[in-house]
Amino acid sequence: MSEETPVEEMSFEEAMRALEAVVAQLESGEVELEKSIQLYERGAALKARCETKLKEAEEKVAAITLDEGGRPAGTTPLDPS
Protein backbone atom coordinates (compact mmCIF):
# COMPACT_ATOMS: atom_id res chain seq x y z
CA MET A 1 0.00 0.00 0.00
CA SER A 2 1.11 3.61 0.10
CA GLU A 3 3.91 3.15 2.62
CA GLU A 4 5.41 6.41 1.43
CA THR A 5 2.41 8.59 2.26
CA PRO A 6 2.52 9.66 5.90
CA VAL A 7 -0.57 8.46 7.72
CA GLU A 8 -1.57 12.01 8.63
CA GLU A 9 -1.79 12.95 4.96
CA MET A 10 -3.73 9.95 3.78
CA SER A 11 -7.23 10.22 2.41
CA PHE A 12 -9.86 8.18 4.14
CA GLU A 13 -9.77 5.58 1.40
CA GLU A 14 -5.99 5.22 1.51
CA ALA A 15 -6.03 4.92 5.30
CA MET A 16 -8.83 2.37 5.03
CA ARG A 17 -6.95 0.20 2.55
CA ALA A 18 -3.75 0.43 4.57
CA LEU A 19 -5.58 -0.50 7.78
CA GLU A 20 -7.16 -3.48 6.06
CA ALA A 21 -3.75 -4.65 4.88
CA VAL A 22 -2.20 -4.23 8.32
CA VAL A 23 -4.98 -6.20 10.02
CA ALA A 24 -4.75 -8.97 7.43
CA GLN A 25 -0.99 -9.14 7.85
CA LEU A 26 -1.22 -9.30 11.64
CA GLU A 27 -3.96 -11.90 11.56
CA SER A 28 -1.93 -14.13 9.32
CA GLY A 29 0.30 -14.65 12.38
CA GLU A 30 3.38 -14.88 10.20
CA VAL A 31 4.94 -11.63 11.29
CA GLU A 32 7.96 -11.36 13.57
CA LEU A 33 7.18 -10.09 17.04
CA GLU A 34 9.14 -6.84 16.58
CA LYS A 35 7.46 -6.24 13.25
CA SER A 36 4.05 -7.09 14.67
CA ILE A 37 4.45 -4.40 17.30
CA GLN A 38 5.36 -1.90 14.59
CA LEU A 39 2.39 -3.06 12.55
CA TYR A 40 0.10 -2.69 15.52
CA GLU A 41 1.30 0.87 16.06
CA ARG A 42 0.80 1.65 12.40
CA GLY A 43 -2.65 0.07 12.49
CA ALA A 44 -3.58 2.16 15.51
CA ALA A 45 -2.43 5.32 13.72
CA LEU A 46 -4.41 4.35 10.61
CA LYS A 47 -7.51 3.68 12.65
CA ALA A 48 -7.11 7.07 14.33
CA ARG A 49 -6.74 8.64 10.89
CA CYS A 50 -9.92 6.93 9.70
CA GLU A 51 -11.78 8.09 12.76
CA THR A 52 -10.52 11.62 12.32
CA LYS A 53 -11.71 11.66 8.72
CA LEU A 54 -15.07 10.26 9.82
CA LYS A 55 -15.39 12.86 12.56
CA GLU A 56 -14.79 15.55 9.98
CA ALA A 57 -18.30 14.92 8.82
CA GLU A 58 -19.29 18.48 9.11
CA GLU A 59 -21.93 19.85 6.83
CA LYS A 60 -21.22 23.20 5.24
CA VAL A 61 -23.41 24.27 2.43
CA ALA A 62 -22.55 27.38 0.50
CA ALA A 63 -23.53 28.85 -2.81
CA ILE A 64 -20.96 30.38 -5.11
CA THR A 65 -21.46 34.08 -5.73
CA LEU A 66 -20.42 35.37 -9.10
CA ASP A 67 -19.00 38.72 -10.09
CA GLU A 68 -20.16 40.72 -13.10
CA GLY A 69 -17.97 38.64 -15.41
CA GLY A 70 -19.59 35.43 -14.18
CA ARG A 71 -16.45 34.40 -12.26
CA PRO A 72 -16.77 33.03 -8.74
CA ALA A 73 -16.30 35.90 -6.30
CA GLY A 74 -16.94 34.10 -3.03
CA THR A 75 -19.48 32.00 -1.23
CA THR A 76 -22.60 32.73 0.67
CA PRO A 77 -24.34 30.35 3.08
CA LEU A 78 -27.17 28.54 1.42
CA ASP A 79 -30.27 27.34 3.12
CA PRO A 80 -32.36 25.69 0.47
CA SER A 81 -35.15 24.75 2.81
Partner 1 sequence: MDDLIEDAQPGGNTPEFTVSEISGAVKRTLENTFGRVRVRGEVGRVFKARSGHLYFDIKDDRAVLASVTWRGQLSQLAQLPEEGMEVIATGRLTTFGSQSKYQLNVEELRPAGVGALMAMLEKRKKALEAEGLFATERKRALPFLPEVIGVVTSPSGAVIRDILHRLRDRFPRRVLVWPVAVQGKDCAPQVARAIEGFNALDPGGPVPRPDLLIVARGGGSIEDLWGFNEEAVARAAAASEIPLISAVGHETDTTLIDYVSDYRAPTPTAAAERAVPVRLDLLTWTDQQGARLVRAAGQAVSARRQRLGDVSRALPRPETLTFAARQRLDWLDTRLPSALRAAAAAKRAQLTQAAAVLRPATLRTRVAADRERLDRLAARLDPALARNRRQAESRFQTTAARLTPRPVQRTIRDQARRLADTAARGGTATRATLRQRTERLAAVERLRLTLGYEATLQRGYAVVRDDNNRVLTDKAAAQKATGMDIQFRDGHLTIGAARPSKKPKDTPPEQGSLL
Cα gap 14→19, rounded to integer Å: 8
User: Residue 20: which residues within 8 A CB-CB, separation 6 or more?
Assistant: none
Q: Which of 1, 4, 9 is nearest to 49 (CA)?
A: 9
- Give me the 30-69 binding string for partner 1, x by CB under 8 A, dash otherwise: -x-x--xx-xx--xx--x--xx-xx--xxxxxxxx-----
For the CB of residue 9, give the shortest distance to partner 1 in the complex, in Å: 13
Q: Which amino acid is at 52?
A: T
| Site of interaction with partner 1 (CB under 8 A) | 11-13, 16, 19-20, 22-23, 26-27, 29, 31, 33, 36-37, 39-40, 43-44, 47, 50-51, 53-54, 57-64, 70-72, 74-75, 78, 80-81
